[in-house]
Amino acid sequence: MDTLKPQGVVVIPPKETKDLYLAAALHAEGCNYLGIDRADPQRMVFTFEGGENSDRVEQEWYQNRLVVSATSYADSIKRMKSLIHS
């Protein structure tokens, strides 16, 4: 008699970046901001919720194909900088 093995929970790892401008793009595209790691004050790490949207943003960013609202992006840069300095 075969028994079914329970399926595990899929854990999606968070998206992390040290790039202020990629972090702003993730924020502008609605990726959920989780926090900032200030352990190294020279290279802070921004953390966002992982998933399809953050993967898409990162992929399009590095392929130089990402299109975002200029005003949203500017606001997100200001937000990310304020997190660095708070």
Q: State residue 4's pLDDT score.
A: 66
23-51 pLDDT, tens digit each: 999 999 999 999 999 998 888 999 999 99
Q: State residue 85's pLDDT score.
A: 87
- Interval 54-81 mean pLDDT: 97
Residue found under tokens 């992929």: 59
Does 86 score more than 90 pLDDT? no
Quick check: 33 and 51 in contact, CB under 8 A? no
Does 2 score more than 60 pLDDT? no
Q: State residue 20's pLDDT score.
A: 96
Q: How far apart are CA 5 and CA 37, in angstroms?
A: 38
Delimit the domains of the chain by residue range. Answer: 15-85
Stronger pLDDT, 3 or 38, i.e. the higher one = 38
Dihedral angle at the C-alpha atoms of 47, 48, 54, 55, nearest 10 degrees? 40
Q: How far apart are CA 84 and CA 46, in angstroms?
A: 9
Dihedral angle at the C-alpha atoms of 21, 25, 28, 32, nearest 10 degrees? -100
pTM (2 d.p.): 0.85
